[in-house]
Amino acid sequence: MGRRGPTLEDVAREAGVSRATVSRVVNSVRNVDPGIQEAVRRAIDRTGYAPNLAARSLVTRRTETVALILSGAGETFTARVFSDPFFGRVVEGALGFLRARGVHPVLLLAESGAAREQVVAYLRQGSADGALVVSVQADDPLAAMLADTAIPAVHFARPSGEPPVSHVDLDNAEGGRLAGGHLLARGRRRIATICGPQDLPAARERLRGFRETLGQAGISEVPVVEGCFTVESGAAAAARLLSEHPHLDGVFAANDLMARGACQYLSERGRSVPGDVSVVGFDDSSAAVACRPALTTVRQPVERMAAAMAELLTEHLQGTRTEPATLVFAPELLVRDSS
């Protein structure tokens, strides 16, 4: 409908001053007589005045609103968002930062092409000053769509595609190193890995770091099978590894789902985890905790990364930062029962 609440004009009349003065009080601009300030405050209370954002942002060109976009694909994306704690951690981190600064955070879900269009339309209309984007899709078109609109945006992980954009990322190579170091520390020497699709930079980096660490320990031959981040591909990869290297005693999978698949296959083949084989995953997703045994995994400091995204965006919005920036975070090893 169209609630037509009291306007500045009404408050001004009530307080016996001009619109401008009321505006100054509302926006706490200095140079307002304390007495008048009080009078205006009372008038605001009496009238129940609330500034109209449309009018304000029409002139300031700002909404004090930031969109947090969760993007992905598929029928089940919404269900996934609301069952994988990962998103909760992102939201937690971002909201914490934004709220403290009086910025209104709005969550937008972009789970289909149509939804993405609507999200972009929302932003192009000027309904938010900028966007924080978390995509879990390989070649999410959203990044490019957003780049076209020239709306300030900060991404979680580097989007594929040309123009460099501001983003936070994990030191994936270091994650691989942590996993490798941990397996070595557990006394494992016949170690293999299930890597992710090698066209993904993150997957490449994890593998690189992992190999690096093993190499430094004198293990230069590391059996590698590529999976595609699903439980099934993890199990299949484990099958191949086990057939070619029956005495395997350690496995690093580039994500938790594949690690889980590997665990399943290993127990089916009579290998106990972690008795015979130590398994390390990556992500600390809900799969890590649900897995039996609970997965040792490499965790991203998601909350801090999300807060950093919000901070980066704020800097872009304020103009304190103009060039695209990249913030890289250190992963943490989380030891559970699988290693």
Partner DNA sequence: TTGAAAGCGCTAACAA
Partner DNA sequence: TTGTTAGCGCTTTCAA
Binding site for its own copies (CB under 8 A): 1-5, 50-55, 57-58, 60-63, 65, 78-79, 81-85, 87-89, 91-92, 95, 99, 102, 104-109, 114-115, 118, 121-122, 124-127, 129-130, 149-152, 286, 316-319
- Cβ distance 316 to 154 under 8 Å? yes
Among the listed residues 56, 158, 208, 304, the single contact to DNA using CB under 7 A: 56
Which residues between 147 and 166 bind DNA (CB under 7 A)?
none
Total residues contacting DNA (rule CB under 7 A)?
27
Q: CA-CA distance, 254 to 280, in Å (whole number)?
A: 9
- Tell me the C-alpha distance between 110 and 142, whole Å: 9
The smaller minimum CB distance to DNA, of residues 14 and 169, is found at 14
Choose among 146, 119, 121, 127: nearest CA to 62.
127
Q: Which does 138 bind (CB under 5 to 8 A by kind): its own copies, DNA, none?
A: none
Pick one of its own copies, DNA, none as the site partner of residue 160 (Cβ within 5 to 8 A by kind): none
* Side chain identity at residue 320, one-letter code: T
Contact pick of 28, 31, 220, 243 for DNA (by CB under 7 A): 31
Between 85 and 181, name the residue whose CB sits nearer to its own copies.
85
Site for DNA in 171-210 (CB under 7 A): none
Residues 38, 45, 48, 58: which binds DNA (CB under 7 A)?
58
Residue 18 binds DNA, judged by CB under 7 A: yes
Task: Give the contacts of 98 (CB within 8 A, at least 6 positions apart).
Answer: 66, 104, 105, 310
Q: Give CA–CA dist 138/73, Å, rounded.
A: 10
Pair of tokens at residue 298: 């490499």
Residue 59 CA to residue 118 CA, distance in Å, equals 25
CA distance linking residue 94 with residue 105, whole number of Å: 8
Mutual orientation of helices 256-268 and 231-244 as an angle, nearest 10°? 50
Give the range of 27-35, 264-272, 285-293, 296-304 binding DNA by CB under 7 A.
27-35
Least CB distance to DNA at residue 123 (A): 15
Which DSSP string do the residues of 48-96 spell out, in sequence order? Answer: T----HHHHHHHH---SEEEEEEE--STTHHHHHTT-HHHHHHHHHHHH
In whole angstroms, give the CA distance from residue 24 to residue 89.
Answer: 38
- Exactly one of 42, 48, 52, 117 binds DNA (CB under 7 A); which one? 52
- Using the rule CB under 7 A, which residue among 45, 46, 55, 79 binds DNA? 55
From DNA, its own copies, none, which one binds at residue 264 (CB under 5 to 8 Å depending on kind)?
none
By beta-carbon proximity to DNA, the closer residue of 49 and 156 is 49
Least distance (Å) between residue 50 CB and its own copies? 4
What contacts 120, CB < 8 A, 6 or more positions away?
Answer: 142, 145, 146, 149
Instruction: State how far the Cα of 205 lies from the Cα of 141, in Å rounded to an integer.
Output: 23
CB of 26 to DNA, least distance (A): 5
Contact partner at residue 233 from its own copies, DNA, none, CB < 5 to 8 Å by partner kind = none
Task: Output the smallest distance, CB 216 to its own copies, in A.
Answer: 38
Residues that bind DNA (CB under 7 A): 4, 7-9, 17-21, 23-24, 26-27, 30-33, 35-36, 49, 51-52, 55-56, 58-60
